[in-house]
Structure 1
């Protein structure tokens, strides 16, 4: 069972994070920082099954050495976090996390009462206003923000991208997180704890005119009131667009199973689709960050008419006890599970106990028509795995943006949560490397590329329509 991004964060927070929200930080001396760093490095090298999946050992060693040079003076927790985090991001694993403290919301760690007051849309090296969290602030949607507190937006965006995690060298997942959590990220990396920053000086451009303005900060609660209202909490829906086309929207592979039964939903939906002799199926997976890996293969079984493989292998770093075990929260029953790890002749450690490693059987009456899958950078983990195998089987057409998860798999599954003893930073290390049963893909360090690329823009974000869905319906109608 796997959970991704936000869902994985919720697991970390509720299960393992026990210290209060960071405030009034103390400084840690160089020896304390060095102790924490050595544990940080040791835990990654011993436990992370994909630490060298996208970067060489020499490159990671060089990055670790760069950290050591920064630990010659006292640092606060936030300062230490800002040194460790970009090096951790270089691994190229979207499931690896560094979390400073128990937090009220994912990514919101520092300066939670003095957040940047605008919701932005970030596109390449530019930022545009979507709306303000403070109703007193009147900036027209679509206004370009060129600098915050004297720092150019291009510089801010580049700095934040270097601190965001994704699989391989994918960028669309980073931009998804950047757009969703800019207020938190800016506070974490560009505002220092304890310094006065209840106002933000910005410069902007709008309709050919340049200007500047000072904006008051807003609280985390105010941000959440707005952002939560944007979310659709219905996990999946079926809609018939016309007599020939159905739209199946799956927003998560991790539903509330007491309220929603995914297996029943799929069974009833495809029975209805086939009974109506639907010729075209639009599968909307945008915004779906993943969930249970079994749900990905189950969905695919409704779209193919022959047996298929889903996972090629699952790899772990070792079958030995971890030397850092005294500082880690490990999966329940980990000591017993270690005995089930097998080793191949070439020395690779495998986990063979996952149903998706077996040959997958299609449903008795699968959908045989055209399938269009709508994707974006939020399609991560299980969602990206499904897309990769569906693409490999040449069963569907993709419309939208590159998926956020890696085409050849990811590192996830069970996690070790390591608490650094002095700073109390918590390092979340995925313990299993998943390899999808795919091959011969051009982009070995990226996600699934769309057959019909449609890049999101500020104009699309502000418009009431849905360009990706409308384009797909238009293509179907032309056929």
Structure 2
């Protein structure tokens, strides 16, 4: 399976936009048309969750918004609405770097980190103005419900999933607010104190982007959610937490770049030692597999790990295809190389790999050769006891593929919250990036549409993430005390057995 991130660079003169500069309707319409044509030709997941009629309809809506000149940020929001509508967590659309730096200058950011707890927007920072744990009801007269729904387009998830958007909101609430409602020096906050209903109104001052980042690093929930954001240092661990319970934690599958990578080989030895131990210690009849912080990574870490948890043969996916063998619209690609000859070589190498892995043309789609998706066998030391799989909205990409295989193909009891990554499939593996000629907005998406090797289940809905057997969210009380609600629930579930 192609796993290289192809970020191809198209060198055009750098175009700097001032914050209030408006682009002509003609140029914006041209970029919108190019954006649509690129996705129709290159994006195999365009109609995964939406019909052609639905996709055409949102583009018709977008075109109607461009009847007069607009600022870049307004056009960007329209493009975001479209990419979010498609339903792929691997979609990523970004402003030109110089514009974003300029736009995000000054003391214009909401000062406090927040977190969604029990579907309420909670202050997640110890401060002297608005008490930690207070519930935000509105900001600048905008009710919380409207705020949150307006932010959904800034953080893409698979299919129709909503829970995963809480990850983006938790990390970038202040940034989303500035993007959506403009730069503000003051914020009028309507809130209620913890476990109170009385409404309080207070005006707080904006802070700089650097201060926003520093406050986030000092958020109250850091001990419980540090692994959901930023670089993960403790990638995996195993421990025996009681005479009959083991805990395997896998925080990422970004463990080496391929099967020959030294880091991957070390991980493989780690898994061998863990499951040999479990095989020899038969009194450990319960294994908790915690992937709540796993946002993905690379093959074969995900499918290798699954080999220790299944007793049946399996594949990574039931089918996979791409839309092309020769990259469409190469004039808008973003290349790594700068020299024309090297760019052509890079492009050819990539296309040769596509032709090798996806050789079969059927109904306009190029399907994966079976040698890249072989039938795999369980590891001889596979665990034969009861598996408890802990999931969360953070789980995506290779993390959700692994969790789907476990949830669908074993007798695991799944506990936690719906994942942002799809149960039945997703678009992934090979990202590609384009730059629009007039606005310089970059758009990235993954080109491989795949169906995961999972069965239909009564609680699994097409277009949704993995649905837990036991839906368990962190309670407000546990948030205040930084307790692990899902793990404590799982241990109590095991106790009577």
Name which of 189, 194, 203 aligns with 2:180. Answer: 189
Name which of 307, 311, 315 aligns with 1:305. Answer: 311
Residue 71 of structure 1: aligned partner: 66
Q: Deviations over 1:400-442 (max 9, x none)?
A: 1111111111111222211111111001021111211123234
Q: Distance in 1 between matches of 2:11 and 2:393?
A: 28
Name which of 255, 271, 275 aligns with 1:270. Answer: 275
Residue 127 of structure 1: aligned partner: 121
Q: Does 1:111 align with 2:100?
A: no
Kept after mapping to 2: 8 A contact 1:125/1:154: no
Name which of 332, 349, 363 aligns with 1:327. Answer: 332
What is the aligned length? Answer: 463
**TM-score if structure 2 supplies the norm length?**
0.85
Q: Does 1:177 align with 2:168?
A: yes
Q: Distance in 2 between matches of 1:38 and 1:438?
A: 37
Residue 139 of structure 1: aligned partner: 130
Name which of 414, 421, 426 aligns with 1:398. Answer: 414
Q: Does 1:53 align with 2:32?
A: no
Name which of 378, 382, 389 aligns with 2:398. Answer: 382
Q: Distance in 1 between matches of 2:75 and 2:352?
A: 35
Residue 361 of structure 1: aligned partner: 377
1:172–1:70 Cα change, 3 Å: same
1:17–1:226 Cα change, 3 Å: farther
1:188–1:298 Cα change, 3 Å: same
Residue 474 of structure 1: aligned partner: 492
Q: Distance in 2 between matches of 1:71 and 1:364?
A: 61
Give the superposition deviation at 1:294: 1.6
Give the superposition deviation at 1:223: 2.9
Residue 254 of structure 2: aligned partner: 254
1:18–1:354 Cα change, 3 Å: farther
Name which of 205, 214, 233 aligns with 2:203. Answer: 214
Residue 157 of structure 2: aligned partner: 166
Kept after mapping to 1: 8 A contact 2:326/2:351: no
Q: Does 1:241 align with 2:234?
A: no
Kept after mapping to 2: 8 A contact 1:18/1:102: no
Q: Distance in 2 between matches of 1:210 and 1:111?
A: 31
Q: Distance in 1 between matches of 2:491 and 2:334?
A: 49
325-334 vs 405-414, greater mean Cα deviation: 325-334
Q: Does 1:100 align with 2:95?
A: yes
Over the residues paired in the alignment, what is the CA RMSD in angstroms? 3.0
1:26–1:354 Cα change, 3 Å: farther
Give the superposition deviation at 1:12: 6.7
Residue 339 of structure 2: aligned partner: none
279-288 vs 226-235, greater mean Cα deviation: 226-235
Name which of 454, 474, 483 aligns with 1:456. Answer: 474
Gaps of 5+ in 1: none
Q: Does 1:285 align with 2:309?
A: no
Give the superposition deviation at 1:379: 1.0
Residue 373 of structure 1: aligned partner: 389
Give the superposition deviation at 1:359: 0.6
Kept after mapping to 1: 8 A contact 2:125/2:215: no
Gaps of 5+ in 2: 228-232, 336-345
Name which of 298, 302, 306 aligns with 1:296. Answer: 302
Kept after mapping to 2: 8 A contact 1:200/1:217: yes
Name which of 19, 23, 27 aligns with 1:32. Answer: 27
Give the superposition deviation at 1:463: 2.3
Name which of 75, 85, 89 aligns with 1:80. Answer: 75
457-466 vs 383-392, greater mean Cα deviation: 457-466
Q: Distance in 2 between matches of 1:15 and 1:473?
A: 53
Query: Counterpart of 1:138 in 2: which secondary structure?
Result: coil
Give the superposition deviation at 1:283: 0.7
1:130–1:455 Cα change, 3 Å: same
Q: What does 1:425-444 align with in structure 2 at a 5 Å threshold?
A: 425-441=441-457, 442-444=460-462
Q: Deviations over 1:341-368 (max 9, x none)?
A: 323444431132774x111111121111
Q: Distance in 1 between matches of 2:478 and 2:3?
A: 30
Q: Deviations over 1:221-251 (max 9, x none)?
A: 2233343463243111112111111111111
Q: Distance in 2 between matches of 1:328 and 1:314?
A: 23
Q: Distance in 1 between matches of 2:98 and 2:388?
A: 38
Q: Distance in 2 between matches of 1:415 and 1:142?
A: 39
Residue 366 of structure 2: aligned partner: 349
Q: Distance in 1 between matches of 2:438 and 2:242?
A: 61
Q: Distance in 2 between matches of 1:154 and 1:179?
A: 15
1:295–1:343 Cα change, 3 Å: same
Q: Distance in 2 between matches of 1:13 and 1:343?
A: 25
Kept after mapping to 2: 8 A contact 1:89/1:162: yes
Q: Distance in 1 between matches of 2:299 and 2:10?
A: 21
Q: Deviations over 1:138-182 (max 9, x none)?
A: 322221111111211111111112443111111111222222221
Residue 408 of structure 1: aligned partner: 424
**TM-score if structure 1 supplies the norm length?**
0.88
Q: Distance in 2 between matches of 1:14 and 1:212?
A: 49
Q: Deviations over 1:41-71 (max 9, x none)?
A: 1111111001001000001101001111111
1:354–1:201 Cα change, 3 Å: farther
Q: Deviations over 1:12-59 (max 9, x none)?
A: 799999979976353211121112111111111111001001000001
